[in-house]
A and B are shown apart, each in its own frame.
Chain A
Amino acid sequence: MSELLTLDGVHTHIGRYHILHGVDFGVAEGQTTMLLGRNGAGKTTTLRTIMGLWPASAGQITLAGQRIEQRATPDIATLGVGYVPESMAVFSDLTVKENLILAARDGPLDDTRLEWIFGFFPALKRFWLSRAGSLSGGQKQMLSIARAIVEPRKLLLIDEPTKGLAPAIIVALIECFAEIKRRGATILLVEQNFHVAQQIGDAVLVMDNGRIVHRGDMAALASDVALQERLLGLSLEAHQ
């Protein structure tokens, strides 16, 4: 399986702080790769660096054969990358409809695609013309994800989507991700919740102190409790 996204010796500095210390990994096309790690390990920074929001100070990032580490964020996005930030970043002053119109940059909204999205997130249809700021936390997360999938994208970068959400909504998200994966999308997903990670991840990367400390199959990690404890400081049961 070919790699859609490759990071090679990527360093990132934020001001005087050296956050990423030579990150190397590849994300296989059509697979869902989980990026795990403790708080402050550098996961969000990695996603932001790929997205060009923080420039890499060294190293290479390749997307579908093109070098993107020096490119501007809008250009990276138009190469086919969808980004769901940790903060969700919905535009509160705009309606749900307007948020999605903005996200659909290739053309008008596709009704079939919208119906598909409404299948996972019925709330978005109900509150179509409501200000995004009046949605609940879970609904905002749905909107944020909907924005990233309203048009087909080559790569989806998703940062901690299940944080603070009710279990029922997490189920909907998992279904959504499974469906997207079935349609052939490549996903790089940062997640703290190992239970969720285990359900949807094919491959797994573990980060600590700005470096990748483990690469492998999700299945292998899921069956090795001792390894989980060592890498993530937890056991499966404790993080249900």
Chain B
Amino acid sequence: MTELAASDALPKPKRDLLPVLLPVILALAMAPLIGSGSSWVTLTVASLAMGMMIFIMASGLTLVFGLMDVLNFGHGAFIAVGAYIATLVLLPLAAWVQADSLWLNLAVLAPAALAAMAVSGALGLVVERVLILPVYGQHLKQILMTTGGLIVAEQALYALWGPQIIPLPLPTSLRGSFIIGDVAISKYRLLAMLVGLAVFLSIQLVLNRTKIGLLIRAGVENREMVEALGYRIRRLFLGVFMVGSGLAGLGGIMWALYREQVHASMGNDLTVLVFIVVIIGGLGSIGGCFIGALLVAMVANYGGFLVPKLALVSNILLMVAILMWRPRGLYAVTSR
């Protein structure tokens, strides 16, 4: 490689923007296939909202894997737990949920979301210490232990809450849609998009503007070197894991409200989607996770509209296609 002369300007680092364009391209490509403009808008908004929710659930997982080289196959348990804890707040306070006042609704949703995140985060602490720390570094055992954790968690949920589906109605002020022309934009989906965007921006802020974020980004690349610089990065791991599980809990309550029901198996159903997103995005990349979530949601929504029978399969095809193009995901971050 030729040595740069001291007077040469450094070539501008090429920003890898191609993956960012993918969702845009996909959305535009779908327009002619879908035909009606209003349907397209509805589906796109649905994709964005769903994508945000999946991003929230997946962001913790990708960061944990990138930083700690830990894959929690039981991640879905945090999602389900978040949803169930939310019911503990929302169902008794049904009056506030049913009230047709945005403030009252938010006043009950906020604590429900916080409770969901707190309990999921606490569960994350337990899982990290009990299931992950003992087999740290051994991928095989890790997969097995966390899968076992998933089984136990799901069964415990059945034991505590029963096998029936618990209905979770949307708060009244969030029902319905804003009508713009002949397009209906669901109010709840709008809220989901805002929350998702807020989470994304917060994560980016922490990662890029704080020293902890610096440590996380450096640790994802080279854990050893961070330790050699004098930082006990293992302590950070636990914190990141708990935040990741807390976020999964938030995703859980949001998804439960989206589907207006809570069931012990919801964790499992979403696990596959979350994994696909994390794989597509590249383990350890928040940006990749964001784009991956959008793509997966789009494929699910557009695909569900155009070819309903192939919904899940189309996501597999998407994953295979992207891996063929970039075997380590859209943005490969880790040095492994």
Contact = CB atoms under 8 A, between A and B. Distances in A.
A92 B16 CA distance: 15
A83 B230 CA distance: 10
A89 B225 contact: yes
Interface string B190-223: 0000000000000000000001001101101110
Contacts of A138: 3
B3 A91 contact: no
B228 A91 contact: no
Contacts of A122: 6
A131 interface: yes
A85 B211 CA distance: 23
Contact of A73 (B6, B211, B228, B333): B228
Nearest to B8: A126
Contacts, number: 73
B228 A93 contact: no
Interface string B224-257: 1111111111000000000000000000000000
A118 interface: no
Interface string A79-101: 00001010001011110001001
A134 B213 CA distance: 21
Contacts of A40: none
A102 B228 contact: no
Contacts of B228: 51, 53, 73, 77, 83, 85, 89
A220 interface: no
A94 B218 contact: yes
Nearest to B4: A136
A91 B13 contact: no
B10 interface: yes
A222 B217 CA distance: 45
A77 B13 contact: no
Contacts of B3: 136, 138, 166
Interface in B58-96: none
A92 B215 CA distance: 13
Contacts of B221: 91-93
A110 B314 CA distance: 55
A53 B232 contact: no
B18 interface: no
Contacts of A53: 224, 227-228
Most chain A CB within a 10 A radius of its CB, from B215, B218, B228: B228
B10 A105 contact: no
A67 to B, nearest CB: 19
A123 interface: yes
Given A85-B225, A127-B10, A137-B1, A91 B230 contact: no
Nearest to B215: A102
B211 to A, nearest CB: 7
Contacts of A123: 6
Given A93-B221, A166-B3, A105 B214 contact: no
B10 A130 contact: yes
Nearest to A89: B225
A223 B3 CA distance: 35
Contacts of A83: 228
B232 A74 contact: yes
A51 B21 CA distance: 44
B230 A77 contact: yes
Given A127-B10, A136-B4, A105 B218 contact: no
Contact of A72 (B6, B217, B225, B232): B232
A73 B215 contact: no
Interface string B1-26: 10110100011010000000000000
Nearest to B231: A74
A73 B227 contact: yes
Contacts of A51: 228
Interface in B1-54: 1, 3-4, 6, 10-11, 13
Interface in A179-218: none
A70 interface: no
A131 B13 contact: yes
Contacts of A20: none
Contacts of A130: 10, 13
8 contacts: A72-B227, A73-B224, A91-B221, A91-B222, A93-B221, A94-B214, A101-B211, A101-B214
